[in-house]
């Protein structure tokens, strides 16, 4: 309520002539009444704007927490956070109530590896000069080596140049923004305001990223970073790693541009990343390693075998992971996969790698954006590819965890997001049925308790 909408205070905003008509209300015996009425109007206005309470009732709520799945339950949201959740929640009289009968509510999806283009120094392609029979030939090189210097995603990204609509339509409420090669990630969380930059950066100082291929320069980045300072070895910083998801080039990932001005986040020197590497060596934060082949996984295993505290998040194709199932250490490794059914290399046999990892108690998470074609074409049914994994053997609860609490824990945000628990951000999705049914659609995305859209 606006104070101009309250009758008696409204006369204070009128012309002197109009006020004169109501001069009787300023008489001494009327003043307390007028003051009290003015105060009530003001308090009513302030409380209605500050105390936003929403109750969604009669829903099936998949908490991805100790409470499990709740039937005909209520979730109470106040000021953007979950105030209460359960089957016997007391709903305040002032709450806005939404009857969610027949709906299924889940936590918002957390994408652990959302590739974005950034401006950074990119080496030019190399050429070779060959002299044959007295004639000189210039042989053009292949794709230029990518990400030869360290870059910070938060410094090089152009937020307004990215189309965020597919992410929102797919129910992605938190994104781990990454770039190709050697870089530091950033974390973006969807805001409830509909702004041009729909996913403002929440934490510009994210995790360390490297890309490893069978080329020595990429391995040198990993080896030198894992070597403690002062051992006399030369510490390299260049990288030729693959920057995008499995099957993509290192040019900054899907949708990334090879052009752009240089925007390195720091000098190409050990000091630029020393603190990041120290946290990785101590096991305080995971190191994201994007590999382009099964043999590159073996190189990573060899390079890290002496670093007993290190925690790795290996981003790879399912087929490459399949060939290394017996080599992965379940306590030190997490695997980041696109949600799809793979094939055994050189065979037509289809395999469900996430289900295989689950049977071995190997931690894994799924990135919806890594399956780019499905990510853009199935926005009305964003979990369709995950549903296919469930139908072919992946445990349902493990699948839901792999897109919510699993990624939240991997990027260190499990205390704020990833599950529906009291005190956490009210980022949630409302489906019109079982999220893993083939015909189910995503109806509404709530961010901090507010429904949002892609406009």
Angle at 141 between CA 138 and CA 147, to 5 degrees: 145
| 151 in the same domain as 238 | yes
Residue 172 domain-assigned?
A: yes
> Is 64 within the bounds of a domain?
no
The answer to whether residue 114 is domain-embedded is yes
- Are 43 and 118 members of one domain? no
Question: Could you list the residue range(s) of the whole structural domain that residue 30 is in?
Answer: 3-49
Q: Are residues 222 and 370 in the same domain?
A: yes
Q: How far is CA 90 from CA 55, 270, 423, in A?
A: 10, 56, 16
Question: Is residue 22 located within the same domain as residue 155?
Answer: no
What is the domain-level CATH number for residue 337? Answer: 3.20.20.140
Within this chain, do residues 189 and 308 fall inside the same structural domain, yes or no?
yes
Q: How far is 353 from 351, CA to CA, in rounded Å?
A: 6
Q: What is the dihedral of CA 380, 110, 118, 224, to 10 degrees?
A: -140
In a domain, 83, yes or no: no
In order along its 455 residues, the chain shows pLDDT tens digits of 443 444 444 444 444 454 455 454 455 555 555 455 555 554 444 444 445 899 999 999 999 999 999 999 999 999 999 999 999 999 999 999 999 999 999 999 999 999 999 887 555 545 556 565 556 655 655 444 545 579 999 999 998 888 888 888 899 999 999 998 899 999 999 876 655 457 889 999 999 999 998 888 888 999 999 988 766 444 444 433 334 443 343 333 333 333 333 333 343 445 668 999 999 999 999 999 999 999 999 999 999 998 889 999 999 999 999 999 999 988 889 999 999 999 998 888 999 999 999 999 999 999 999 866 667 766 778 899 999 999 999 999 999 999 999 999 999 999 999 999 999 999 999 999 999 998 899 999 999 999 986 55
**Same domain for 391 and 297?**
yes
195 found inside a domain = yes
CB 98 within 8 A of CB 57: yes
With CA atoms as reference, report the closest residue to 268 among 137, 147, 361.
147
Clarify whether residues 141 and 219 are in a common domain: yes
438 assigned to some structural domain: no
The model scores a pTM over 0.85: no
Residues 36, 163: one domain?
no
Rg (CA), the chain: 27
Q: Is residue 300 part of a domain?
A: yes
- Residue 170 CA to residue 368 CA, distance in Å, equals 9
SS3 of residue 124 by DSSP: coil
Claim to verify: residue 235 and residue 313 sit in the same structural domain = yes
Are 244 and 363 in a shared domain? yes
- Domains held by the chain: number: 2
Q: Are residues 145 and 40 in the same domain?
A: no
Same domain, 164 and 33: no
Residue 92: inside a domain, yes or no? no
Pairing assessment for the beta strands 442-447 and 450-452 based on DSSP bridges: antiparallel
Q: Which residues contact 236 (CB under 8 A, 6 or more apart)?
A: 217, 220, 221, 224
């Amino acid at each position: 309520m606006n104070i101009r909408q309250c009758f008696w205070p409204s006369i204070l905003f009128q012309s002197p002539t109009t006020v004169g008509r109501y001069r009787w209300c300023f008489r001494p015996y009327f003043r307390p009444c007028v003051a009290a009425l003015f105060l009530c109007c003001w308090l009513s206005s302030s409380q209605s704007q500050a105390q936003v309470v929403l109750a969604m009732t009669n829903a099936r709520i998949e908490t991805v927490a100790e409470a499990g799945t709740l039937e005909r339950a209520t979730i109470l949201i106040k000021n953007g956070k979950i105030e209460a959740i359960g089957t016997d929640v007391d709903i305040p009289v002032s709450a806005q109530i939404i009857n969610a009968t027949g709906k299924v509510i889940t936590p918002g999806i957390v994408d652990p590896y959302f590739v974005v283009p950034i401006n950074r120094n990119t080496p030019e392609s190399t050429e070779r000069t060959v002299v044959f029979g007295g004639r000189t030939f210039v042989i053009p090189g292949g794709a230029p080596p990518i990400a030869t210097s360290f870059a910070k995603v938060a410094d090089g990204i152009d937020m307004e140049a990215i189309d965020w609509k597919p992410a929102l339509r797919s129910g992605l409420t938190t994104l781990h923004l990454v770039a190709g090669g050697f870089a530091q990630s950033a974390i973006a969380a969807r805001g409830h305001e509909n702004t041009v930059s729909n996913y403002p950066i929440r934490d510009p100082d994210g995790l360390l990223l490297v890309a490893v291929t069978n080329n020595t320069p990429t391995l040198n980045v990993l080896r030198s970073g894992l070597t403690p300072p002062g051992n006399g070895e030369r510490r390299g910083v260049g990288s030729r790693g693959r920057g995008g998801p499995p099957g993509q080039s290192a040019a900054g990932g899907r949708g990334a541009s090879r052009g752009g001005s240089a925007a390195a986040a720091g000098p190409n020197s050990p000091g630029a990343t020393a603190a990041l590497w120290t946290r990785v060596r101590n096991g305080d934060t995971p190191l994201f390693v994007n590999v382009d082949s099964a043999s590159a996984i073996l190189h990573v295993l060899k390079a890290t075998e002496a670093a007993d505290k290190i925690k790795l998040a290996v981003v790879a194709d399912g087929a490459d992971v399949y060939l290394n199932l017996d080599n992965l250490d379940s306590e030190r490794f997490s695997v980041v996969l696109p949600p799809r059914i793979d094939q055994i290399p050189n065979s037509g046999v289809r395999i469900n790698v996430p289900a295989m990892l689950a049977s071995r108690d190997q931690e894994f998470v799924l990135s919806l954006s890594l399956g780019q074609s499905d990510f853009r074409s199935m926005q009305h049914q964003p979990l369709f590819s995950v549903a296919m994994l469930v139908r072919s053997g992946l445990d349902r609860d493990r699948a839901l965890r792999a897109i919510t609490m699993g990624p939240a824990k991997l990027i260190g945000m499990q205390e704020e997001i990833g599950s529906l628990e009291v005190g956490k951000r009210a980022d949630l999705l409302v489906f019109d049925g079982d999220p893993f049914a083939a015909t189910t659609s995503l109806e509404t995305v709530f961010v901090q308790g507010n429904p949002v859209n892609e406009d």
